[in-house]
Amino acid sequence: MNNIAEKDTFMVEKVDGAIRQAADKLLERAKQTGTPVVIWEDDQIKEVPPEELELKMPEKTQRDTRAKTVVSKRE
């Protein structure tokens, strides 16, 4: 793989990690405040309990492990 492709791949992984981290924070705040999360699904806006969304997301520890792997590759 050339250097530009490696940088692009690394950047995509960083962006993905940042989005997942933001989603985790959003779900945590929604649970703390007892508010639903508004999403776009099946061509409509829906209010979904944060616990329901958590079931659809990969486990937090799996994402954390993957993020640490990406950082260690870069170092």
Domain ranges of the chain: 26-75
Q: What is the pTM of this model?
A: 0.61
Instruction: Return the structure tokens found at 51.
Output: 């616990």
Q: Quick one: pLDDT at residue 57?
A: 75
Question: E strand or H helix at 10, and its extent?
Answer: helix 3-33
Residue 72 predicted with pLDDT over 50: no
Q: How far is it, in rounded angstroms, from Cα 4 to Cα 9?
A: 9
What is the tens place of the pLDDT at every residue in 13-66? 999 999 989 988 999 999 999 999 999 999 999 999 999 988 877 665 344 545
